[in-house]
Amino acid sequence: MAAISVLLGHFIGMQPVIPRWMEQISNSPMHILWDGAAAVNLFFVLSGFCVALPYMRKKNPRSIEYLPFLIRRVFRLYPAYAVALLLCLVAKFFYICPNLDGISAWGREFWQWQSLAYSQWLALAGMIYHADTKLLDPPTWSLVVEMKMAFILPIMFLVYRRLAIFFQFVLTFFLLLIMLIYGSSLNYACHFGLGIMIAKERDFIADKVADLSKRQLSILLLAGIFFYTCRWPWKEMLIGWIGISYSVNMLFEILNGLGSALLIMIFFHPSIANRLSNSLGCFLGEISYSIYLLHFPILLLCVSYLQNWYISFVVLLSVSIVSSWLMFRFVEKPMIGIGRKVSELVEIKWMQKLNNVVR
């Protein structure tokens, strides 16, 4: 559902005038439905959790092999990303902007270039840190973060796996401080750290959440929603008070990450887990990565050619879901399988060399 939230956020952002009813509830918890910025923070925490699960199991945890892990991450992230860039390039040639005056100033920032320099193509194709993802597929900036994190996640797995829960909190808090005070090319390491910590203590958290009363669960849920979507209206107010937009932005990124962690823990409750594990939830979970990659070029074409916003939304949602399923079925799923096989071959050769050295 987080990918749908990003889609809704971008769709609403394209409109030149926000509907009055939506403006009235935008500063309420209902904003969670289209809070795309918070959804990206959820992606990072959830990514840390899901990737760490096999390595943090209490019984038979997967061994942490650096190169095989990188191979699996590259095959998981890059093929669908490359296909999405190619589709964006094709879509760009059909983007003739007949309805440009009917979209927001933010929406008019995209796809206005006539040609790109070789260095820009190289940066985009290589998922390089300074790549200007707004040139083709703006949401893919987060994939640059994912790829950078892939290089340090095995190290984080080793560290978290050896730490008691108190020192896991200390380490995660240290990462939060680094993000808030200094900033770095790995700003979101704290989000991944939260996900890793939840993965390591999954059984403990699940038992505690299952024992919560309805009132306690409701309080925890409200706290998660508040932190998850608290940047409205407080962010602009704080920037007005202290005038440091970067630090304020990082503060709310951290609060969104904490809210995301709380929501993930709440999902361990049996009643909630059962509702989310239905066929629709599983289907949306499978295609969520592709929805995230493909919805923006589809959105730009919809608002360019279609005059009616309601029709644009129906077309956007329908085409995004269908194209994302095709992407999952014919790109993501096969590439994940190939990545697994390649990593297993590398792991076998790695172990053989290690055995030869020992002998």
Question: How confident is the prediction along the chain (359 residues), in pLDDT tens digits per residue?
Answer: 788 889 998 998 888 877 777 777 766 667 788 888 889 999 999 999 999 999 988 788 888 888 899 999 999 999 999 999 999 989 988 887 655 667 888 888 888 877 777 778 877 887 766 677 888 888 988 888 898 899 999 999 999 999 988 888 888 888 887 776 666 556 788 899 999 999 999 999 999 999 988 899 999 999 998 888 877 666 555 555 555 565 667 778 888 889 999 999 998 888 887 777 777 878 888 999 999 999 999 999 888 888 788 899 999 999 999 999 999 999 999 999 999 999 888 877 766 665 555 45
H-helix segments, the chain: 2-14, 20-25, 36-56, 66-92, 118-125, 141-150, 153-162, 165-177, 189-200, 202-210, 214-228, 231-242, 245-266, 270-276, 279-305, 309-327, 333-358
Q: What is the reported pTM?
A: 0.88
Considering only CA atoms, which of 59, 237, 45 is closest in space to residue 146? 45
The confidence score (pLDDT) of residue 351 equals 62
Q: Which two tokens stand for residue 98?
A: 């007949």
Question: Cis peptide leading into 233, omega within 30 of 0?
Answer: yes
The confidence score (pLDDT) of residue 178 equals 77
The confidence score (pLDDT) of residue 34 equals 84
Angle at which helices 66-92 and 309-327 cross, to 10°? 140
Phi-psi region of 243 (alpha: psi -120 to 50; beta: other; left: phi over 0): left
Going by C-beta distance under 8 Å and a sequence separation of 6 or more, which residues neighbour residue 102? Answer: 16, 303, 307
Considering only CA atoms, which of 201, 130, 188 is closest in space to residue 160? 201
Going by C-beta distance under 8 Å and a sequence separation of 6 or more, which residues neighbour residue 339? Answer: 71, 72, 74, 75, 76
Considering only CA atoms, which of 249, 120, 226, 119 is closest in space to residue 179? 249
